[in-house]
Structure 1
Amino acid sequence: MANQLENLVESIKSKVRSLKSKSKSKKPYVKMDKSASIKVEIRSRQARKLIDKTLKVADHPGKRTIS
């Protein structure tokens, strides 16, 4: 019984060691670059914000900025 328990403990230890060594070698994730379509989407959102801001200023010709 004690021998079986020792074998079980040793096998668990070896499995844990192998898992630790694998996790160190791999990165948890791969960072991806933005695709062309995402870049276009970001630029179009920025352009839309600028257009909206410009239209708000145009609606109030006596003021230069809107707070």
Structure 2
Amino acid sequence: MFKSVAVTVVAFLLLPGVWRQTAVLIGMAAGTGIAAVTGLAPPWPRSPARQSSTARPWGAPRARAATSPRAPC
């Protein structure tokens, strides 16, 4: 964590003008790269958004035929 903060501070101090706004992005990218190289990051994220879908044992949903309309409550 300290290395990414150090990279962020150095980028902020060395970049001119508007480019200073990218210092946080550079620090995040450097921290991710350092974690990947040192083996501290998993090879893929384990978030629900990145997981592949699995087949359900009960199959795909099917439409039911309407037998009788239900009375409104």
TM-score by length of 2: 0.27
More helix by share: 1
Larger CA Rg, structure 1 vs 2: 1
TM-score by length of 1: 0.29
Q: Which has the higher contact order (CA 8 A, sep 6+)?
A: 2
